[in-house]
C-alpha cells in the first residue's frame, strides 16, 4: 500500500531530508508541511523539476495535514536555528519557539488521525519528543527522536579519522541528551577488534581529545554555515527507513526509558512498531552518573517547558 | 581507477550536488572548493557526519586545486545568487561577479593540469561555459553547461501536470539560452504517442500557457526560497554521471554550435569524451528565428564580458 | 503502510526479479511462492545471507498465499522454460503447462483476497494475462503483462548499437504479441531528433536488419544459456515500481484493448490503479495490419487454451 | 577515470555479481570472461536488454583479457559447482578443476598487465587465493578472498533470527577456512550491547545450535538449488566496492597472515590498496586452536594443489 512519509518543517534539515527521500525513491508519497507556504511550495516545485532527471517518482502533497492520516512516518524538522546561533550553541535556546510550534503541530497531527511513527529532529530533541508524545497521545514507543544517532556518527567519524579506518567499522554509542550533557560511553566503543579503552594505550589515542574533537566538529559545522543539515537529515531518514522496512535495527535514538522517567538517547531496536526492544548496556559507574545527570537535565527542561 | 568529481562553489547548488553524490556513492573521490573556507569545511564535515549512516564511502578533499589534476569531471557551481534577486530574475545580473570568479577558477583548474570534462552550472551559464573553455583551453566539446536540461525538465513537468502523466513520459526540448530568451521547441515535444501540437487541440492544451507556467515555475521556486537548487543540481549530477558512465545519452545541454558561433543549449550526445555528437533538429522557421535571437543575445553578452 | 510485492515462480526470472528487489530495497515485504519448496526456501535463505552485506532490509515470507492479501503487486514468473527450448523458440510451447499452473495460482490469489495489481511475465504472456484476469476477476486494467516492454528494450539496444548511442535515447515501441507475431512500429521510433525512417537513409540504417537482429538477440540470449532473465526481470520490476510509485509512466505493456478484444502490447499510462490511460498511436496501415494479425493470433490461442 | 571491474566466470555466482553491479551502476566498465563463450555473450546481451529499463549505463566488454589491464578489481567467480554436489558438500571437491583453471586465468591476467586488486570467490577460496597471488605475483595484500564474509553473514542471520533483530545489528566473525574447518569466534560476537556469551544464558541461546544452524543454512541453500549465489555475490561486490571507494572497512576476508603462513579469513581493513591493516583479535585458547587447525588444513591442501 505504498510508503508514505510526512516532513514537517522545510528549513535546511527538513528540505535536505525530503531531497534525500526523493532522490532515492524511499517514499511513494511525501507530504511536505511548513508555515512558510512560499518556501514549501518552492521546494516541492524544485523537487518536481528534479524528477524528470531522476530514476524514481514521488508524489508530493503540500501543506495538507489531512494527508498525514495514513502516513507511515512523520519526520518533524521544524525549528528556528537562528535562536541557537544567538545563544552559545545551546539547543535549548530553540525551546521557547519550538515548544509552541510543536504543540500546535502535534495537535494537528492528532486531529488528522495519524497513527504511525513520529521521528523528531526538532531541538531540543529529547524534550520535543516528549511533547509530541504527550500531545498526540501516541504510544511512547511510537515517538522517537534522532537523538545521539548523529552524535554517535560524529564520534565514529572522529575515532575513525584517528585510526584511518571507515567510521562504519567503529561500534559504540553516545548517550543521553542530544545536547551539551551527552557523552560518549567509551565502555561501549569497539574498534579493530578491541574495546577502545584497551586500544587507546597502544595506539596513543587520547579519548578525551577525541570526545572534544567530536563535539567541536558539530560546532564547526554549525558555525561554518550557521546550521547543520546533512548529518542529521541522513540520521532521520535512516531511522524512517528502519521503521518502514521493519528492519529491527539497533540504533541509539531518543526513546522513553522508564527507569529515568524521560526520553533520552540509549540504543534500542527499531522497527515498524517503533521501539520494539530496549537494550540494557553494562555501563561503568561513571557513565551511569553522567547519564543520570543528563536525564535530570532533560526532565527539568521538560518540566519548565510546560 | 575510481571516479573523481570536483565541485567548485559550495553554495546552495554546489552543496546539494555534493550531497546527492555522497548519498548515492556516485564518486569515490570528491574535491570540494569554495572561497568561503568555513562553509566548505562545514559541509565536508557534515557529509562525514552523514557517512556512518550511509551505505557508501566517499573520500572528501577540501580546497585543494592540485587534487583536481586527475578528476574526471568538475562541476562549477559558484555564483552569487543575491545578485539575481536584486535584478528582476535576470541571470546576467550575476555576470559581473561570476565572470571574474570564473576566470580565476578556470586559470587554477588549468594550472592544476585538469584534463577531464567541465560541467558548468554557474550563471549566466552559456557565457560562463565559454569563459571556462576560453581560459582552460580545453577542447570545446569537453566544456558543457547544464543549460536547458533544467528548463526542459520544467517544461516536461508542466506538460505532464496538465495531462496527469509522468514527466519522464514527455519527450522534447527547450533550446537556446538558459535564461529569458530560451523557448520550448514545441515541434520537438512528443507525448502520448503524438506531437504535442496535434494533441493540443484534442486535449485543450494551451501551449503558450504551459510555456508561461513552466517559466513562472522557475521564478516561483526562486522567489519562494531566494534560490533554486534541487532541479539544477540533479541535472548537473545526471550530466556528470553520463560522462563518467560514457553513457552516450542525448541531453539538451549548452554546447558549442559552430553554425551559431556560441555555446547554447541544443541536444547532443554526451559521453566520456564530452559532447561526442551534435543532433540536427528539424525546427520550424519560427523556432529557428527564436534560436538565432537567443544565440545573438548570448554572443553579445559574452563579448561584453571580456 | 509499506510496500509489499509477491513473486510467484522462483525460476531464473522470478528469483532474479526478487534479487533485484532485495538488493535495492524496492519492497518492505516480499512474498515468494513456488511449488518447488526446496528451491524457494533456498532462495529466501540466500537472500537473507546477502542482507547483512546490503544496505536495505526486506522481510521475506515463503509459500504463504494468505500473505498476498494485502500485497500491492504480484509478479507472476512461473513457467517451464525447457518446453520452449524443445519447441523452436515458440513461447506458446509453454502454454499447456502454464495455463494449468496459472489457473491454479490465480484461483489461490483470488481466494487470498488479493486486490492489487498483477504483473505477468509467464509465457505466452498475452494469453496468460487474460487467464489471470479471467480467473481472479480483477478489473482488466489491474492485470498487466510485461509484454513488449522487453522487446522494445531489445529494439532500442539494436538501434542504439547501430548509432553508437545510449539505448535510453531511443524512443519507440514494439507492439502486439510478446512472441513471434510482434513487430517494431517504426513509425513510432524516434532517435537523434528524427523519425528513424527519415534518418535511416542518411545513416545507412537497414531497419529490417535491425528488426531481425533485435529478435535474433533474444534468441541468442535464450540459446546461449537456455533461458533469459535479466532483461525481463528488469522490465517486470520497473513495471511493479511504476505501480507502487503511482508514476503514471507510458510503457509498452500487455493491456486489454477493447477494439482488438484481447490483451496485447500497446503503450499505456501505468500507475497505482494499473493501466489508467491507453495511448492511441497513429500507426501506418501496414502496422495496423500487423497488429491485427498479432491480435488475432493471441485470441485464437487464448480460445484454444480454455 | 571511471570504475572498471572484471568478472571471470559467468556461472551462477559471476553472473549474479555482474547483474548486481549493472543494476546499481557500481561500475562504468565491466569486463566479462568465461570459457563458455555462448553463455557469457548471452549474459552480456541480457544485461544490455535490461539497460534501457535501468537508471545506469555500464559498458560491457566480453572475453577480452587485454581489457583487464586497467581494471580496478577482478572478481574471480569461476568454478564447477557440480563437483561439490557429488562430494558431500566439501568445497575442496572443486579444487582439481579450479586449480587448473585458475592457474591459466591468473597467467592471462598477469600477461594482460593487470595491476589492481583480485577478489576471489572461486572455491576452495583460501587455496585459490594463494594460487592467484602466486601466479600473478601481485603483492599478497592485493589478492583477497571473500572467505568468511559470507559465513559471518550467515552467523549474523542465525543469531538475529533467534533474537528477532536485524542481522546488521550483530557484530562478530567466523574465522579460518571458508569451508568445513571454519568456526564462529563467539568471543568476538556482540549483540544487544553484550558479548553474546553473556547474553546466551539470559536469553536461552544455544550457541552450538546456532552455529550448526548457520552451517546447515548454507547447505540448505546449496541443496535446495544445487548452488548458492545471492549471498556470496553480494559479499564479493561489497568487497569490490570497498576497494573502489577506498572505504577502509573492517571485513572478515581471506587475507595472508604471516603468523599462519597462509591465506585464511580474519578481519582486515580493506581499501584501494587491498588489505591495508590486519586486525589482531583477542581470541580464546580454544578459538586459537581451531584457527590453527583450519590454517594447517588450508596449507596442506595448498601444498597438495601444486
Q: Which of B19, B57, B178, B223 is catalytic?
A: B178
pLDDT of residue D88: 65
Beta pairing, strands A194-195 & A274-278 = unpaired
Residues of each annotated binding site of A for NAD(+) = 9-14, 34, 121-123
Beta pairing, strands B249-257 & B262-271 = antiparallel
Does residue D214 share a domain with residue D296? yes
| Interface size between A and D, measured as CB pairs under 8 A | 67
Task: Tell me how far apart the alpha carbons of residues A58 and A24 are, in angstroms, rounded to a whole number.
Answer: 10
Mean pLDDT calculated for residue range A71-77: 98
Quick one: three-class SS letters along C168-212? HHEECCEEECCCCCCEECHHHCEECCEEHHHHHHHHCCCHHHHHH
pLDDT < 50 positions in chain D: none
Task: Report whether pLDDT(A217) > 90.
Answer: no
pTM of the model: 0.97
Query: With contacts defined as CB-CB under 8 Å, which chain C residues touch A246?
Result: 2, 28-29, 57, 59
**D284 CA: distance to closest CA in chain A (Å):** 13
Does residue D197 share a domain with residue D126? no
Task: Report whether pLDDT(A234) > 90.
Answer: yes
Beta pairing, strands B274-278 & B262-271 = antiparallel
Does residue C270 share a domain with residue C190? yes
Beta pairing, strands C143-145 & B262-271 = unpaired
pLDDT of residue B88: 65
Does residue A234 share a domain with residue A113? no
Does residue C208 share a domain with residue C196? yes
Mean pLDDT calculated for residue range C293-299: 97
Query: With contacts defined as CB-CB under 8 Å, which chain B residues touch C282?
Result: 193-194
Domain range for A22: 4-145
The CATH number of the domain holding residue A131 is 3.40.50.720
Picking from D49, D168, D239 by the largest number of C CB atoms within 10 A of its own CB, the best residue to mutate is D49
| D70 known ligand binder | no
Out of D1, D4, D246, the one facing B72 most closely (by C-beta) is: D1
pLDDT tens-digit readout, C59-93: 999 999 999 999 999 999 998 877 777 666 677 88
Q: Are residues D160 and D169 in contact, defined by beta-carbon separation less than 8 angstroms? A: yes
**C113 CA: distance to closest CA in chain A (Å):** 15
> Looking at chain D, which residue has its C-alpha nearest residue B243?
D2
Picking from D149, D157, D175, D192 by the largest number of A CB atoms within 10 A of its own CB, the best residue to mutate is D192
Number of domains forming the structure of chain B: 2
Task: Report whether pLDDT(C212) > 90.
Answer: no
Q: Please, which residues have CB within 8 angstroms of residue D14's CB and are 6 or more apart in sequence? A: D7, D8, D32, D34, D75, D77, D78, D121, D233
Does residue D196 share a domain with residue D269? yes
**D133 CA: distance to closest CA in chain A (Å):** 25
Give the burial string for B177-211 (b: 16+ CB within 10 Å, else e): bbbebbbbbbbbbbbbbbebeebbeeeebebeebb
Tell me if residue C223 is catalytic. Answer: no
Does residue B44 share a domain with residue B176? no
DSSP state of C116: S
**B19 CA: distance to closest CA in chain A (Å):** 7
CA A18 to chain centre: 14
Task: Write out the H or E segment, with its range, that includes residue B270.
Answer: strand B262-271
Task: Tell me how far apart the alpha carbons of residues D76 and D144 are, in angstroms, rounded to a whole number.
Answer: 10
Does residue D130 share a domain with residue D20? yes
Residues B48, A222: C-beta atoms closer than 8 Å = no
> pLDDT tens track of chain B, all 306 residues?
799 999 999 999 999 999 999 999 999 999 999 999 999 999 999 999 999 999 999 999 999 999 999 999 999 999 887 777 766 667 788 888 888 999 999 999 999 999 999 999 999 999 999 999 999 999 999 999 999 999 999 999 999 999 999 999 999 999 999 998 999 999 999 999 999 999 998 888 999 998 888 778 788 999 999 999 999 999 999 999 999 999 999 999 999 999 999 999 999 999 999 999 999 999 999 999 999 999 999 999 999 888
Mean pLDDT calculated for residue range A57-66: 98
**C257 CA: distance to closest CA in chain B (Å):** 16
Residues 83-102 of D with CB under 8 A from C: none
Residues 213-232 of D with CB under 8 A from C: 217-218, 220-225, 228-231
Beta pairing, strands D73-76 & D117-120 = parallel
Mean pLDDT calculated for residue range A164-193: 95
CA atoms within 13 A on the CB side of A124: 27
Out of C19, C41, C229, the one facing D220 most closely (by C-beta) is: C41
**A57 CA: distance to closest CA in chain D (Å):** 12
Query: With contacts defined as CB-CB under 8 Å, which chain D residues touch C47?
Result: 230-231
| Grid cell of B172 as nine digits | 522534447
Chains in contact with D, where contact means 3 or more Cβ–Cβ distances below 8 Å, are A, B, C
Does residue A157 share a domain with residue A194? yes
Residues C49, D221: C-beta atoms closer than 8 Å = yes
Query: With contacts defined as CB-CB under 8 Å, which chain A residues touch C57?
Result: 242, 245-249
Name the nearest CA neighbour of A254 among A225, A287, A291.
A291
The CATH number of the domain holding residue A206 is 3.90.110.10
Query: With contacts defined as CB-CB under 8 Å, which chain C residues touch D157?
Result: 48-49, 51-52
C247 in reach of chain B (CB within 8 A) = yes
Residues C221, D54: C-beta atoms closer than 8 Å = no
Query: With contacts defined as CB-CB under 8 Å, which chain C residues touch A242?
Result: 57
Tell me the percentage of chain A whose pLDDT exceeds 90.
Answer: 86
B140 in reach of chain C (CB within 8 A) = no
pLDDT of residue A39: 96
Query: With contacts defined as CB-CB under 8 Å, which chain B residues touch C193?
Result: 188, 250, 267, 279-282
| Interface size between C and D, measured as CB pairs under 8 A | 156
Residues 180-219 of D with CB under 8 A from C: 217-218
Task: Tell me how far apart the alpha carbons of residues A45 and A22 are, in angstroms, rounded to a whole number.
Answer: 12
Domain final position from A98, A114, A145: A145
Chains in contact with C, where contact means 3 or more Cβ–Cβ distances below 8 Å, are A, B, D
Residues D238, C53: C-beta atoms closer than 8 Å = yes
List C-alpha distances in Å: A6 to A1, A46, C164, C277, D291: 16, 17, 44, 29, 51
More confident residue, D204 or A170: A170
pLDDT tens-digit readout, D55-107: 999 999 999 999 999 999 999 999 887 777 766 667 788 888 888 999 999 99
pLDDT tens-digit readout, A109-147: 999 999 999 999 999 999 999 999 999 999 999 999 999
DSSP state of C226: S
Domain final position from A145, A170, A198: A145
CA atoms within 13 A on the CB side of C29: 24
Residues of each annotated binding site of B = 9-14, 34, 121-123
pLDDT tens-digit readout, A16-57: 999 999 999 999 999 999 999 999 999 999 999 999 999 999
Domain final position from A99, A126, A145: A145
Residues D167, C52: C-beta atoms closer than 8 Å = yes
Query: With contacts defined as CB-CB under 8 Å, which chain B residues touch D248?
Result: 57
Does residue B166 share a domain with residue B130? no
Does residue D255 share a domain with residue D278? yes
Does residue B274 share a domain with residue B179? yes
Amino acid at each position: 500500500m505504498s510508503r508514505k512519509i510526512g516532513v514537517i518543517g522545510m528549513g535546511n534539515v527538513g528540505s535536505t531530508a525530503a531531497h534525500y527521500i526523493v532522490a532515492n525513491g524511499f517514499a511513494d508519497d511525501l507530504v511536505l508541511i511548513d508555515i512558510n507556504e512560499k518556501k514549501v511550495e518552492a521546494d516541492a516545485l524544485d523537487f518536481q523539476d528534479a524528477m524528470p532527471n531522476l530514476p524514481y517518482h514521488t508524489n508530493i502533497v503540500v501543506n495538507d495535514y489531512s494527508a498525514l492520516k495514513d502516513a507511515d512516518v512523520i519526520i518533524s524538522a521544524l525549528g528556528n536555528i537562528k535562536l541557537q546561533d544567538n545563544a552559545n550553541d545551546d539547543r535549548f535556546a530553540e525551546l521557547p519557539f519550538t515548544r509552541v510550534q510543536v504543540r500546535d503541530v502535534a495537535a494537528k497531527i492528532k486531529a488528522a488521525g495519524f497513527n504511525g511513527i513520529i521521528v523528531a529532529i526538532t531541538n531540543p530533541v529529547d524534550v520535543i519528543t516528549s511533547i509530541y508524545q504527550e500531545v498526540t497521545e501516541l504510544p511512547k514507543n511510537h515517538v522517537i527522536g534522532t537523538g545521539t544517532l548523529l552524535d554517535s556518527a560524529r564520534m565514529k567519524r572522529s575515532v575513525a579519522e584517528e585510526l584511518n579506518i571507515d567510521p562504519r567499522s567503529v561500534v559504540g554509542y553516545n548517550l543521553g541528551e542530544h545536547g551539551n550533557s551527552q557523552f560518549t560511553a567509551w565502555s561501549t566503543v569497539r574498534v579493530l577488534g578491541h574495546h577502545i579503552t584497551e586500544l587507546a594505550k597502544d595506539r596513543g589515542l587520547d579519548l578525551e581529545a577525541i570526545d572534544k574533537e567530536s563535539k567541536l566538529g558539530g560546532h564547526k559545522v554549525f558555525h561554518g554555515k550557521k546550521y547543520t543539515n546533512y548529518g542529521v537529515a541522513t540520521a532521520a531518514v535512516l531511522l524512517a527507513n528502519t521503521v518502514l522496512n521493519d528492519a529491527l535495527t539497533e540504533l541509539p535514538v531518543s526513546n522513553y526509558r522508564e527507569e529515568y522517567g524521560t526520553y533520552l538517547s540509549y540504543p534500542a531496536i527499531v522497527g515498524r512498531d517503533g521501539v520494539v526492544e530496549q537494550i540494557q548496556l553494562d555501563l561503568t559507574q561513571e557513565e551511569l552518573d553522567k547519564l543520570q545527570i543528563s536525564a535530570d537535565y532533560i526532565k527539568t527542561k521538560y518540566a519548565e517547558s510546560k
